[in-house]
């Protein structure tokens, strides 16, 4: 079974803090994704990566950065957390160069920024 794990289920941070969200997958998938999910807006893509050290902006990259130093690990960084970044963050991975394969999601990190 594919397993995608995220470093925290719940996180509370203060405005201005630097926040790291870690994601690890164990199936040697090429593609990894970070989304945020908000009521009424669905899942929105922040960044994705199709290879080590590669990254592509999604639809809402502002205020975020990512790092993929190893194939199995994809980190999301909030350089200076703001209250409008309070959300559920979901990491996903998929195999294949075309990206048209099933995505497997981690359990999510519910981040609250005070």
Partner 1 sequence: RKEVEQDPGPFNVPEGATVAFNCTYSNSASQSFFWYRQDCRKEPKLLMSVYSSGNEDGRFTAQLNRASQYISLLIRDSKLSDSATYLCVVNTPLGNQFYFGTGTSLTVIP
Footprint of partner 1 (CB under 8 A): 31, 33, 35, 40-45, 48, 50, 56, 58, 90, 98-103, 105-108
Identity of the residue, 16 or 107, whose beta carbon is nearer to partner 1 in the bound complex: 107
Nearest to 103 by CA among 74, 81, 78: 74
Minimum distance from residue 72 beta carbon to partner 1 (Å): 18
| Smallest distance, partner 1 to C-beta of residue 77, A | 21
In the structure encoding, which two tokens stand for residue 19, read together? 């926040």
Residue of 87, 92, 114, 96 lying closest to 105 (CA atoms): 92
Taking the complex as a whole, the smallest distance from the CB of residue 82 to partner 1 amounts, in Å, to 23
Longest CA pairwise span in the chain (Å): 39
Give the span between the Cα atoms of 81 and 25, in whole angstroms.
25
């Amino acid at each position: 079974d594919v397993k995608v794990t995220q470093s925290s289920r719940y996180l509370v941070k203060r405005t201005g803090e630097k926040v790291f969200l870690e994601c690890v997958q164990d199936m040697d998938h090429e593609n990894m994704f970070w989304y945020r999910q908000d009521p009424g807006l669905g899942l929105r893509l922040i960044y994705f990566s199709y290879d080590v050290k590669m990254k592509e902006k999604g639809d809402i990259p502002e205020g975020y950065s990512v790092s993929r130093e190893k194939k199995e690990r994809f980190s999301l960084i909030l350089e200076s957390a703001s209250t409008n970044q309070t959300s559920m963050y979901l990491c996903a991975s998929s195999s294949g160069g075309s990206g048209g394969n099933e995505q497997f999601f981690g359990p999510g990190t519910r981040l609250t920024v005070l």
